[in-house]
Amino acid sequence: MQELSQKDATDLPLTFPGVLVIVGGGAVDLDLLAQLAAGGAALVGADGGGDVIAGAGLKPNAIIGDFDSLSDPLGWLGRTRLVRISEQETTDFEKALYSTRAPVTVALGMTGKRFDHTLAALDAVTRYARQRSIILVDESDIALAVSGSFSFGVKAGERVSVHPLQPVLFRSSDGLKYPLEGLRLAPGERTGTSNSATKRTFVIEPAKGEDGVWLLILEKGNLAGLIEAVMNRRG
């Protein structure tokens, strides 16, 4: 098994034309994983996430990480692409992020089970949100990391939470019960938890020049629509 580093892996990043699902070892909805795979999404295991994919009866397009939690790395030889990265400065999720490219990335199993892994996933999302569209999925919610403005449609009265991963001053919002005009949200200072939609489509817009990363947190049933919205936005 060849050991690769970010420096000498000349064929990295692995590029996928559509939805990429990166799977970790946290809480994973296996039915959702199967649905995404059936819809044509590519699957990448972040180290032990390869075992989760296999446990769902699926085969990953690649497994990326330092392989300290993958049960049988040698058993995957010849079955899928193995990218072993030994550096210990980043988590396996971040290794998978910097080793891939895709229009939209859905992250399963990056939250739940271990609080430190959840926090590390949020840190990684903050670092990469300006470069790519990442949607975290947990047991009940989805969270899209956003830098800049965003609009989306949900049912009136549905929960819409805005959580700052970095300080963000908002210029305006439309279609939300509690307007964001002139509000500065920042970690440890103020958040926008448990807002709600008042219209079919809401719009959130930071002030001019603001590029701080924030999370748009919605109910899990909005995942398919959010993936489509992000793909259309990038297109």
The CATH number linked to 172 is 3.40.50.10240
The token duo for 191 is: 């958040």
Number of domains in the chain: 2
Whether residues 175 and 83 share a domain: the answer is: no
Residue 195 CB partners (closer than 8 Å, separation 6+): 159, 160, 161, 162, 176, 177, 178
What is the average per-residue pLDDT within 152-157?
96
Q: Is residue 110 domain-shared with residue 8, that is, in the same domain?
A: yes
Same domain, 29 and 113: yes
Give tens-digit pLDDT for 82-118.
999 999 999 999 999 999 999 999 999 999 778 998 9
This prediction has a pTM of 0.94
- Give CB contacts under 8 A, 24+ apart, made by 189-196: 190/164, 191/161, 191/162, 191/163, 191/164, 192/161, 192/162, 192/163, 192/164, 193/161, 193/162, 193/163, 194/159, 194/161, 195/159, 195/160, 195/161, 195/162, 196/157, 196/158, 196/159, 196/160
231 in a domain, yes or no?
Answer: no
| Together in a domain, 154 and 110 | no
Name which of 133, 121, 130 is nearest 95 in CA terms.
121
Judge contact between 144 and 132, C-beta under 8 A.
Answer: no
81 and 150 housed in the same domain:
no
Confidence of residue 11 (pLDDT cuts 50, 70, 90): confident
Distance between CA 153 and CA 161 in Å, rounded? 14
What pLDDT sits at residue 193?
A: 94
Residues 28-65: tens digit of each pLDDT: 999 999 999 999 999 999 999 999 999 999 999 999 99
Give the pLDDT of residue 72. Answer: 93
Averaged over 130-137, what is the pLDDT?
Answer: 97
Whether residue 82 lies inside any domain: the answer is yes
pLDDT tens digits, residue range 178-215? 999 999 999 999 999 999 999 999 999 999 999 999 99
Residue 6 has pLDDT above 60, yes or no: no
Q: Is 112 part of any domain?
A: yes
Does one domain contain both 121 and 79? Answer: yes
Residue 10 pLDDT class (50, 70, 90 cuts): low
Q: How many residues does the chain have?
A: 235
Choose the final residue of a domain: 139, 154, 169: 139
Q: What is the pLDDT of residues 158-178, one digit of tens each?
A: 999 999 999 999 999 999 999
Is residue 40 situated within a structural domain?
A: yes
- Asked if the model's pLDDT at residue 7 lies above 80, the reply is no
Strand partners, 205: 172
Residue 201 sits in the same domain as residue 133: no
SS3 call for 129: coil
State mean pLDDT over 12-39. 97
- For residues 158 and 215, state if they share a domain: yes
Domain limits at 14? 3-139
- Give the separation between CA 190 and CA 139, rounded to whole angstroms: 25
pLDDT of residue 8: 40
Q: Is residue 234 part of a domain?
A: no
Same domain, 16 and 129: yes
pLDDT at 4: 37
Query: Cβ–Cβ contacts within 10 Å for residue 192, how many?
Result: 23
83 Cα distance to chain centroid: 20
Same domain, 135 and 171: no
Whether 32 and 96 map to the same domain: the answer is: yes
The identity of residue 118, as a single letter, is T
Within a domain: 226: no
229 within domain boundaries: no
pLDDT band at 2 (very low <50, low <70, confident <90, very high): very low
Tell me, yes or no, whether 169 and 65 share the same domain: no
> Could you tell me if residue 120 is inside a domain?
yes
